[in-house]
Copies of this chain bind each other. A is one copy, B any other.
Amino acid sequence: MHDPAVHPDDDLRALRRDLHRHPEPAWCEFYTTARLIEELRAREVDIQYGPAIHAADQRLNVPEASVRNEWLDRAREAGADAETLEEIGESFTGAVAVAERGPGPTIALRVDIDALPITESEGDDHQPVSEGFRSENEGYMHACGHDAHATIGLGVLDAVLDSDFAGTFKLIFQPSEEQISGGKPMAESGILDDVDYLLALHIGLDHPSGQVVAGIDDFLAVTQFRVDFVGKSAHAGGRPESGANAVQAMAAAVQNLHAIPRNSDGATRINTGLVGGGTANNIVPEHAFIDGEVRGETTELMAYMWDHAQRVIDSAAEMHDCEADIQMLGEAPSAESDQRLVDIVGAVARETPGVESVLDRDSLGGSEDATYLMQHVQNHGGLAAYVGVGTDHPGGHHTPTFDVDERDIAVGIDVLSASIREIAASDPNR
């Protein structure tokens, strides 16, 4: 049996902290990608990255070249390999490692790698501060544990390589999960077409250290969108009547979006998470925008919200004589974990040192574009499960004091690598 005492080895902890120091937003994970490729190059795997692992036309919400270039510059300054950065291209972040280990099923593990536009806590009791690995990209932060995810992925790869696993193992580092736009292009790129089993994972989620959830369900289906309201500017003192106030249109939309009727079929969500508009106190605003999202417990509920949201937005624009341009930024469907995988992961977890309690099922209550990858594998006849690895996190997800207990990285590696070996061992086609 694998000994958890050797985990997390110093290398993995160092990797996690290095990633934590360099949080990068969606589609700009240049340093992260280059750093992970560097790690993969030290191992016996085939490495894929760049345009090959994305269906280019399915990418949404890719930032403008100026933004990407700024992050490329930062990656370079932080020491990322220049040649690798060039190969990644302008936004084809992420990577895939393939380890062919003889006959057997193809099993993939998907981990996500992007960070959030949140300013990390400077509190002395925040471990990244006290241990010196706080974010060096001010205003950005690994506030959802993707640094731990990537580290667990690499740890699982090591464990698989170091085992008698027979079959093919694919480790997928996916970009742009936070913007719900990295899953679809990867799912449709072909990299999953030969995958028989897919596992994905998340750390934390309010589960304490020592707890594992064998199958997470109830992903909220989501659509993220951007609206641009365009009106007409005017001097606010001299000619207010000649303007068309885009900020008033935006405000009417915000108010009425939140007032979309609740739905008795299940949970729905709406958020107008980032808004702006106008230029100066004394000018009637010509432009305003909303970056928002709608969610639903099912894809139908999300569609209900999305239908209403579009009508509200268009009407709010019309109400103030403005135009509204609605653009979809990201989306993800609902998904369910397959029972056979849940059974295997649950059984393995119950045998894993450091695991104190195992839940067979739990709800996410959020969204995840891992669901695109899960659906793709399931639609091709494969099985998929989404595994939760508990950790005591001081602050909530997406808050400035979020952190993970690094010992749980080892637990995650053990549960997932053992599950992968067991899935291969019990494959009916074996």
Q: Of the 9-residue stretches A13-21, A48-56, A391-399, which lies at the interface with chain B?
A: A391-399
The DSSP consensus for interface residues of chain A is mixed
A334 to chain B, nearest CB (A): 12
The number of times this chain is found in the oligomer is 4
Interface flags for A254-279 (1: CB within 8 Å of B; 0: not) read: 11101101111101111111111111
In the complex, A178 has a CB within 8 A of chain B: yes
- In the bound complex, residues from chain B placing their C-beta under 8 Å from that of A222 are 237
Interface flags for A180-205 (1: CB within 8 Å of B; 0: not) read: 10000000000000000000000000
A110 to chain B, nearest CB (A): 19
Judge whether B283 and A278 touch: CB under 8 Å.
no
- Interface contacts beyond A251-B251, A278-B291: sample of 14 additional A-B pairs, CB < 8 Å, sorted by A: A116-B280, A178-B280, A178-B282, A220-B237, A235-B396, A238-B364, A248-B258, A248-B272, A256-B259, A261-B284, A262-B269, A271-B282, A274-B277, A280-B291
Judge whether A236 and B271 touch: CB under 8 Å.
yes
Judge whether A238 and B365 touch: CB under 8 Å.
yes
CB < 8 Å: which of B117, B235, B236, B280 contacts A279?
Answer: B117
CB < 8 Å: which of B271, B316, B329 contacts A284?
Answer: B271
Cα A243 to Cα B367 in complex, Å, equals 18
- In the bound complex, residues from chain B placing their C-beta under 8 Å from that of A265 are 241
Judge whether B264 and A240 touch: CB under 8 Å.
yes
Known: A267-B264, A319-B319. A282 touches B273 (CB 8 A): yes
Cα A96 to Cα B340 in complex, Å, equals 57
- In the bound complex, residues from chain B placing their C-beta under 8 Å from that of A295 are 236-237
- In the bound complex, residues from chain B placing their C-beta under 8 Å from that of A379 are none
For chain A, the bracket of interface size reads 35 or more
Cα A396 to Cα B233 in complex, Å, equals 10
Known: A240-B271, A293-B281. A319 touches B329 (CB 8 A): no
Judge whether A273 and B281 touch: CB under 8 Å.
yes
- In the bound complex, residues from chain B placing their C-beta under 8 Å from that of A329 are 281
Judge whether A245 and B261 touch: CB under 8 Å.
yes
In the complex, A321 has a CB within 8 A of chain B: yes
- In the bound complex, residues from chain B placing their C-beta under 8 Å from that of A388 are none
Listed from nearest, the 5 A-B pairs whose CB atoms lie closest are: A258-B259, A236-B271, A315-B319, A251-B254, A237-B366
In the complex, A224 has a CB within 8 A of chain B: yes
Q: Would you mind naming 5 contact pairs between A and B with Cβ atoms under 8 Å apart?
A: A237-B295, A256-B320, A272-B278, A274-B279, A282-B293
